[in-house]
Every structure is written in C-alpha cells, then in structure tokens.
Amino acid sequence: QMGWIHLVPCLLLISPVLALFEDQVGKFDWRQRFVGCPTQVSLDRSRGGRIDNILLTSKEQAVAAISLNNGEIAWRRLQEKNTTDDIPFATTEQLMVTVTDNGRSVRAWEKMKGGLRWSVWLSDTPSTSVSVGATGDLVAVVSGNTIYGIEGSDITSYSWKGVITKSDWSRVSTMAAGSSTGSGSSLLRSELVLVTGINGQKVTLTPIDASGLSSEGSVSISANWFDSERCLISRETLWCLSSSGSLTALPLSTSSKSTTITAKPGTLRLLSISNTIAVVGEDETTVFQLKGTEIKKVLSLPVAVDSIEGVSVDGDSEKGVVVVAHSIYNLAVYQLEKGSQLAKATLHSSPSRVPISSLLLSSPSSSSPSEFQIVAVSTDCRIESLVLDVKQTGEPFIEWTREEALARVSKAEMLDLPLSELQASIESEFEGGDLGIVGAFIRRVTTQAHQVKRWAIMTSHQLVALSSSLSFGRSGNLAEILGRIRKQDGVRATRSEPFERDFFNTRKLVLLTTLEGVIYGLDNADGRMVWRLNVDEGSTHFSPLKSQLGEETVPVYMQRTAVHPGLYPIATAVYKDKKSLETVLVSFDPMSGKLLSTRRTPPVKRVDILPKEINEHIHPLVVILKSGKVVFEPELPSDFKTMPLHVMDIDPETGSLEGSELSIVNGVGSQSKRWSGDLSFEKDEKAIIVQGKPPTQRVHSRGRVLLDRNVHYKYINPNLVAVASLDEIRQTLSIHLIDSVSGQIVHTGRVTKVTGPVHLVHCEHWVAYSYWSEKSRRTELGILEMYEGDELPESNIFDSLIPTLHQPKAIVASYIFSQGIEAMGVSETEQGATTRSLIMALPFGGLFEVTRRFVDATRPVDFTQEMREEGMVPYMPEIPIATEDMVNYNQSVYSIKTIKAFPSGLESTSLMLACGMDMFYTRLTPSGTFDILKDDYDTGLITLVLVGLFVGSYVCKRIVKRNSIKAAWA
C-alpha cells in the first residue's frame, strides 16, 4: 500500500493538462439550465400584488421558480427521481408546499429563494391520489384515503391525521382569505375545506382547522349530479358538468345549495376569478358566473378555444377580464362586465402551431391599466411571456421564451456547417467540367474578383462595427478601448453571419431531437437557438419510438451533409404516430429547420442509413418493417448494387441472437437469416446496454508498443457489438463482445456481486464500463482491451468472415471510482491520434474528465525504472478525482443522460455536449492544444517587441550616422 503513495507525484505531473484556468471561463463553453416540462404553474401573487416569479413543478421532478421579468430560473430544487408522478403544490403568503415521492413527503419552500422551511414525512406507504391545500400556517394534504394536517412553521412531523370515509373523490380547497366577493353567502369559518364526493350520491364538505377535521361543521349534500371525472373546484365553488351538458354549481358554504343550469357539453376550465368557470365545447366557449343562487352566462364565444384564463380587475370578480387563446397564438381579451372584446392580437412571429396547455394572466398594475402580462405554456413545453396592451393594436410584445423540451433530449448530433462562400467557390471551381483555356481563365478571374469583393465587404463591416463600438464609449483610457476592440473581436467570432464553417471547423450546428416532438438547431458557439421544428404541428399524435431495450428514442439520420455546394443538406427524424401507430419519417434541412417532407410507413422494426450514396449525394434510409419487408427512403435506382448489409437482433430477455443479411440487388432489398446464437441468459438476467461502434470512428495506431520494442496489435473490429447484461438477483454483470457479421462471440466476461447503475463506452479496441460493487460498496470502473497478438495482420481492412491469426486476447483491469456515475462518454477527434478521455457526469453536478492513460488495462503493477523512463503510468487501484478536473468547473449540471463528443477540424480538439436536465457544451483537449497556439499566447507583447526593435534599430542608425558625421567634422 505504501508503494502507491510514492507514485502519486508521478501522477500529479500528468494530470494538470486537463485543468482549466480562471480566465478561460466561458470562452469555449456554455451552460443552459432547464426546469423541465411544467405540469403545474402558478403566478406568485404575493408581496402586495407585485408578481415576481412563476412557481412551477415539472415532469422532471423539479420544483422551481422562474423570474417573470427575464425568464431566468430564480431557483430550482430537484426532487427524488424514483417517480414520474406530477408534483402537486399549494402556495401561501410565503411558502410553496409540495407533495413529492408518491404522496409521502411534504416540503415547504420559501417562495423567494427556494430554501427549505420544513419537511414532513407522512407515511411509508405510497399513494396515487394526492391533493394539497395551504393557508397561513396550516397545510392539509390528502394522500390516498388519509388526510394530514400540518401546522406551525418549524416542524418535523404532522400535527394530526384523519381517515376519509370511503369516497370517489377528495380534494382540499383553499378559500380566499377574507373574500367577500361573489355570492356573498356565509363562508365556512375555516379557510381550508375538505370536499369529498361519491358518484351520483352526495358531496360532503368538512372544514379543516389546526386541530383536525371538525366533524360537527361537516355538511353532506345529496348530489345525484356528482361525477368525480367531471368536477372541478374553483376556490369557493364546486362545479360539475355532466356529459349531457347540465352545469351544476355548489358554493362551499355551510348553507350551500346546488344550482343547475343547462349548458352545452364540453370540458370545464378553471379561471382565476372567484365563482366563475368556463365551459369549452366543441364549437362554443361559454363563461359562467355564480351570482347568489343563480348561474349567469357572462360571455359566449362561437368558437372553441385552446386555452382560457381570466383574472379579476381591482379585486372585483364582476369586472373580470378573460384572455382566450383561439387555437394558435391568436389571443383575444374580453371584458366580463359587458361581455365585449377589448383587444385581439395574433402572434405571427411565433413559429409553433401547437396547442397551449396552460395560460397565466396577471391583472394589470395601476400604473399601466391596459397592459396584461400573459404566460403561455404550450404542449411542447415552451414557456412564453407576452405583454399585451389592449389599447394598442398589433402584435403583443414577447418578453422571453423558454424551451423546456430541451430538458428531454433524445439524440444529439453536431453537424458541419456549409462551406463558406470562399471555400465553396474554390470547390466549385474545381468541380465544374472542362471549359477550355478561355473559359477556365474567365472563371478563375471571376472567382478571384468575388473573393476580393467578399473580403472588402467583410472588412468594411468590421470597420463599421469597430467604429461604432469605439464611439459608444465616450470616455475611457486606452486599456478600455483596447478591451472593447477585443470584445468586438469575440462577438464577431461567435455571432458572425452568415452561418458558415470557420477555419478550423470548430463551429457546428447542434441538432437535438427531443422526446416532446420538437427538434432544435443550436449554434455551438454560444448555445443560442437557430431554429426549432415541431414535427407534428397541429396534431398531438407524436410519440417516441421504443428501442429494443425499451428506451424511448427519436433517432435522426443525416441523409446528406452540408458539404456539397449547391445542394441543401437533409436530415430525417423518425417517430411514431400515437393514433395510427404508423411510423413517420420527417425530413428537414438541418441548417435552416425547414420541413422538407413527411412520409408514413407501417410500423417499423428498425431504421438505419445506407453507407453508400445514390445520386445527388443522398444516403438512403433502410427501413425494415415489422412485417419483414425492406423499404428504402428515397427509393433506390433500379441498377443500384452494393455489398450486403448485416443486421443483428438480440432478445434482451433471453439473450438469443439472430444475424441476418440484407442484400440489395437492382434496387430491391431482401433480408435472409444467416446465423443464430445465444448468450444463454439466466432467468433474471437482462440485456441492459447494447452498443456498437460509430461507423466513422478512426483508429490512428494499429498497435501498442511494448517495453521490449515488440508491438501488440489491437483487435479493431468495426462490426463488434458490446452487450452488457445484468442479473439483479444473482448480482452478476456480464460483458459480451459479439461480431455482428459472423455471429462469433469474441469475449465474455463476468463480474460478480455487482448491481447497477451500469454505464458502458465502446470504442476502438476497448470497452469501459462502470458498476456498483455490492461487495466493496463502491463504484468501480472496468476496462477491457482486446489484442490480436504480436504479428501484424495481413490486411489493413478488417474482415469479420476471415478468422484472425490468433484468437483475440482480452486484458482486463478495474479501478475504484470514488463517486457515482450518471452518464459516461468518450472524446472523439478527427484522426483518433489524440489520447482519448472519458467524461463522466457525477451526481453532484460535475463533469469529470479522465484521460485514457489512467483508465488503461495495461498499467503495470510492478513498476520499474525502465517503465518510468518510458512514461508509463503504474497501476493504482483508485482513479483520483480532483475538483480541478471538472470540465464544467462551477457550472454544475444535473441529471445528465447523454454525453457525446464530436471531432472538430483540429486533431487536438473534441467538441463535447452533455444533455439531461441541464446542458453543457465545451471544447475538450485531452492531450492539450498541441496544434494551435495557446489561447493565452501574447500576440500583443510580441508585436510590441517587434515594433520596438524596428523603431530602435532605425533610431540607432540615425544616431550612429549623426555621430559619425560629427566625428568626421571633429
């Protein structure tokens, strides 16, 4: 054990390559934080009516507040991830009370800062039906058939609990404190009321106070109209709309009597006006108000609306104002008092034709009584804040937009941008056919003229930008001006238009498909959105595909890249139509987000891209239908021929394998079975990860040089697939390496007494995998390397059907990793010559980069002087984790699901993107920036020295000349 300590300095010498300097912050990286797709939203109406935040809970189990002014996250607390249920919440003057963990845990958060005030554990048994109400210091939670009362401000357990008598429906309703509006009937004394109902029988109202349910105050009302599916509580009133269209209102007071009116069938929508409700029918929208014992129709619109929300003006419900969203961002404001339209606005700039799931409206402030702030949440998780001035016509002003679908990214790609005009003109000059001497000369001159013109335009733009930036700063010393120029330079580098490739090809388009049906194009320079595309505009039939392992995915394929001048690029995403169960292929231009075409096919089993291109540089998609038929998109030319493709199928439950060959003759594909195999899984064993290698991956060196100058040749099989299977009961993890063409099982390794989470990276000739060791109770990292032997293989191209000279040999090592791992990725460079790095997302928000030199199966245990001279790293059981090795420094990112890296034009540089709840992008230089100057290279100083030398020598020359003349005269 002591030996390891001696070797630590040796390791320390290597590691700082990866660390970051403070002045590099934000230079190449950016982070975006999300709250997830909102399930419940509310405006924070505290602090004397001034609205500051939007409080929300999301599908991704986040409790958060978004600032209404700028749309930034004010605070966010991530809850347990073991459930996908919605988080219900209620608000009081200062707190936001949430019920999480399947109705078991109640937490109270400070609305302003998000600090935890108190948390209470209700019960060990989870339940599904959950309702929460809160007022002042009292919180009531209905969980299952139990009601809990929590009172006080500094508490750790609930004050009381009571059993709710059997009912179909139970809710806690919060009465508006001191509310005297509306019906004016005597309200119940307490501010919280438990409302329970039995279908078609009765409704019971029970007041809740600090000591418990007050049974003597309980009122039962026989209600044959009650239907738990069709009722809502809007503050002081219970509303029910029967399927036949009769609307019933029951004020929640001791002397309550229900009132019924005939309305049209439809769905009930809550409004933030007391005693008021909206009924949205198929072709009609009506707003009803309960006045005394009478329901009055206060507004009637002859159209169906997407979303409707109302707010009272000056605290008077009769003077309320209603905003409706007619289908798609077609907003209208109505006054309830007169039932007239105040304003109408259409949002032309908004690209999405997507229904709005919730609408929030704030009452206008006294200083600008005609301005309404509207927050719209669309079904594709976009949150948008608008300001609508009813006195002005025209478009409402969009304050900010949040794209929360980005918290559910499925696939990420980074695409090369189109060649710049300059590069394209050079390309086209060589691509055009033979024109003869004169023609070629003319072309040459015109291209050069274009180049000069372009240069002149660019320079003039730069000068204009520079002069404007200088003139803005009226005062300031030289350093400030220089700083401004430098800043200008940076801005130009990141935001320069047109959107085209830069010199080192580090600027790319990030293409992201999400599980919400939205596809995004981001600029990797600063993370801004270039375009967005909702694939099922108008309809809500989008659903992701299911992979063989049961994961939801929206795959995307690049059918034509942007490198062909004159031809637009094509990308195709695949998803499932929820209704018709058809598979939909959506083609779009990934540079502009323009939809090109949509095609539908019967349910597919598998989609892949053909490696060979047909005319116009298009790679066709191979679509294998569930019926076994093979379809190509677009269709192949009739004389198209290519090598057969090989397809491997695995049954994740039993481990049986099947290999088939897809032969394409004269443009028609047919699938035939070639081999079958079996991984012979145990009863509880399941395949959890199946990973091949990216087809574009390059391996720079074929072998590893040993100490005795022999070479160990790597087993580089592009058809190799790694399968990880886990047996949760017997706690065994198996790693299988299978040749997907020949069906040969190249290697099988087992690790016992381990459980998940398992992550795996398959790359070049090695597989890295992480698991939780139950025996030692720590995370461990395994590395498996495959070698062919000491003899150079005859062919440079690997062929699965020709047996290798020797049976490939596996070298395995494992390391202790002192942290948990949420996701694992590997760096990728253009030639594969740079030492790779593994990137791991750690549960506390760090992205840890560790070089492959540490995660190496061949680190020697017996370390000699010779090895030291060779620069080898000795085996140490633990992989050191230092906070300096976090590529995202203090920009923590949580719940990361995928880490993907892409090559850039520089061999040293890999572009990494981590997606999950948050998103982080940075440039990785696993071996340092060896091919460009360091980014702190002092160009200014060198220029200064050079100029100084020139001036100095000139001055010296003059002095010498004068001196010599003087000397001659003397």
Q: How far is CA 64 from the centre of its chain?
A: 17
9 forms part of the interface with other proteins (CB under 8 A): no
**Per the omega criterion (within 30 degrees of 0), is the bond before 498 cis?**
yes
The token pair that represents 735 in the structure block:
């790693």
Shortest approach of other proteins to residue 758 CB, angstroms? 14
116 forms part of the interface with other proteins (CB under 8 A): yes
The token pair that represents 661 in the structure block:
């060959």
Task: Tell me the residue length of the chain.
Answer: 970
Site track for other proteins across 696-715, x = CB under 8 A:
--------------------
**Residue 456 or 945: which CB sits closer to other proteins?**
945
One residue of 370, 459, 548, 883 binding other proteins per CB under 8 A: 883
**Residue 843 or 948: which CB sits closer to other proteins?**
843
How far is 62 from 80, CA to CA, in rounded Å?
9
Burial class (CB in 10 A: 0-12, 13-18, 19+), 270: middle
156 forms part of the interface with other proteins (CB under 8 A): yes
Torsion sign, CA atoms 744, 749, 752, 755: negative
**Residue 77 or 443: which CB sits closer to other proteins?**
77
Tell me the window of 20-28, 161-169, 400-408, 674-682 that interacts with other proteins (CB under 8 A). 20-28
**Among the listed residues 353, 387, 351, the one whose alpha carbon sits nearest the alpha carbon of residue 370:** 387
**Residue 633 or 822: which CB sits closer to other proteins?**
822
One residue of 5, 21, 215, 643 binding other proteins per CB under 8 A: 21
> Which of 773-785 are b and which e, b meaning 16 or more Cβ less than 10 Å from the residue's Cβ?
beeeeebbbbbbb
One residue of 33, 59, 107, 501 binding other proteins per CB under 8 A: 107
How far is 178 from 156, CA to CA, in rounded Å?
29
Tell me if 311 sits within 8 A of 321, measured CB to CB.
yes
Beginning with the edge strand found earlier in the chain, give each strand of the sheet holding 732-739 in spatial order: 685-691, 720-727, 732-739, 745-752
Shortest approach of other proteins to residue 896 CB, angstroms? 12
**Residue 124 or 434: which CB sits closer to other proteins?**
124
**Residue 125 or 598: which CB sits closer to other proteins?**
125
CB atoms within 10 A of CB 10: 15
In sequence order, the 6+-apart residues with CB closer than 8 A to the CB of 14 are: 851, 853, 873
3-state secondary structure (DSSP) of residue 430: helix
**Residue 11 or 530: which CB sits closer to other proteins?**
11
One residue of 13, 72, 121, 756 binding other proteins per CB under 8 A: 121
Site track for other proteins across 467-486, x = CB under 8 A:
--------------------
CB atoms within 10 A of CB 21: 9
Restricting to residues 926-945, name those near other proteins by CB under 8 A.
936
**Residue 337 or 878: which CB sits closer to other proteins?**
878
| CA distances in angstroms from 174 to 192, 320, 413, 629, listed in the order given | 5, 20, 48, 59
3-state secondary structure (DSSP) of residue 363: coil
Site track for other proteins across 900-919, x = CB under 8 A:
--------------------
Restricting to residues 425-444, name those near other proteins by CB under 8 A.
none
Shortest approach of other proteins to residue 965 CB, angstroms? 28
**Residue 117 or 674: which CB sits closer to other proteins?**
117
777 forms part of the interface with other proteins (CB under 8 A): yes
How far is 679 from 658, CA to CA, in rounded Å?
11
525 forms part of the interface with other proteins (CB under 8 A): no
**Residue 206 or 888: which CB sits closer to other proteins?**
888
One residue of 270, 304, 816, 867 binding other proteins per CB under 8 A: 816
**Residue 113 or 474: which CB sits closer to other proteins?**
113
Restricting to residues 53-82, name those near other proteins by CB under 8 A.
75, 77-82
**Residue 104 or 235: which CB sits closer to other proteins?**
104
Shortest approach of other proteins to residue 537 CB, angstroms? 37
One residue of 432, 490, 843, 880 binding other proteins per CB under 8 A: 843
Q: Which three-class secondary structure string do you get for 367-397?
A: CCCCEEEEEEEECCCEEEEEEEECCCCCCCE
114 forms part of the interface with other proteins (CB under 8 A): yes
**Residue 866 or 884: which CB sits closer to other proteins?**
884
Tell me the window of 101-109, 265-273, 434-442, 479-487 that interacts with other proteins (CB under 8 A). 101-109
In sequence order, the 6+-apart residues with CB closer than 8 A to the CB of 830 are: 698, 903, 904, 905, 906, 907
**Residue 488 or 819: which CB sits closer to other proteins?**
819
Tell me the window of 107-115, 202-210, 480-488, 950-958 that interacts with other proteins (CB under 8 A). 107-115
Beta bridge partners of 276: 289
The Cα angle at residue 45 between residues 43 and 49, in degrees rounded to 5 = 135
Question: Can you list the positions of beta strands (E) in 185-313?
Answer: 192-198, 202-209, 212-213, 219-222, 231-234, 237-241, 246-251, 259-262, 267-270, 276-280, 285-291, 294-301, 307-313
Tell me the window of 370-378, 885-893, 916-924, 955-963 that interacts with other proteins (CB under 8 A). 885-893
**Residue 401 or 892: which CB sits closer to other proteins?**
892
The token pair that represents 405 in the structure block:
């679908």
One residue of 3, 16, 315, 476 binding other proteins per CB under 8 A: 16
Question: Can you list the positions of beta strands (E) in 626-731?
Answer: 630-633, 645-650, 656-665, 668-678, 685-691, 703-705, 711-714, 720-727
**Among the listed residues 273, 210, 211, the one whose alpha carbon sits nearest the alpha carbon of residue 239:** 273
**Residue 1 or 672: which CB sits closer to other proteins?**
1
CB atoms within 10 A of CB 645: 19
Question: Can you list the positions of beta strands (E) in 36-174?
Answer: 38-43, 53-58, 62-67, 73-78, 89-91, 95-100, 105-110, 116-121, 130-135, 138-143, 146-151, 160-163, 169-174
877 forms part of the interface with other proteins (CB under 8 A): yes
**In what helix (H) or strand (E) does residue 941 lie, and over which residues does it extend?**
helix 939-969
**Residue 746 or 847: which CB sits closer to other proteins?**
847
105 forms part of the interface with other proteins (CB under 8 A): yes
The token pair that represents 145 in the structure block:
């058939």
Tell me the window of 384-392, 536-544, 838-846, 860-868 that interacts with other proteins (CB under 8 A). 838-846
Shortest approach of other proteins to residue 780 CB, angstroms? 10
948 forms part of the interface with other proteins (CB under 8 A): no
3-state secondary structure (DSSP) of residue 558: strand
**Among the listed residues 412, 350, 417, the one whose alpha carbon sits nearest the alpha carbon of residue 589:** 417
How far is 853 from 874, CA to CA, in rounded Å?
10
In sequence order, the 6+-apart residues with CB closer than 8 A to the CB of 941 are: none
Shortest approach of other proteins to residue 751 CB, angstroms? 16
One residue of 124, 229, 434, 862 binding other proteins per CB under 8 A: 124
Which of the 8 DSSP states describes residue 680?
-
Tell me the window of 192-200, 209-217, 498-506, 888-896 that interacts with other proteins (CB under 8 A). 888-896
Tell me if 648 sits within 8 A of 636, measured CB to CB.
no
538 forms part of the interface with other proteins (CB under 8 A): no
One residue of 42, 69, 83, 119 binding other proteins per CB under 8 A: 119
**Among the listed residues 542, 575, 72, the one whose alpha carbon sits nearest the alpha carbon of residue 354:** 542
**Residue 124 or 862: which CB sits closer to other proteins?**
124
- Please give the size of the binding site for other proteins, defined by CB under 8 A: 52
The token pair that represents 596 in the structure block:
């090109």
One residue of 886, 899, 917, 924 binding other proteins per CB under 8 A: 886
**Contact footprint for other proteins (CB under 8 A):** 1, 16, 19-23, 25, 75, 77-82, 101, 104-105, 107, 110, 113-119, 121, 124-125, 156, 775-778, 816, 818-820, 822, 843-845, 877-878, 883-884, 886, 889-890, 892, 936
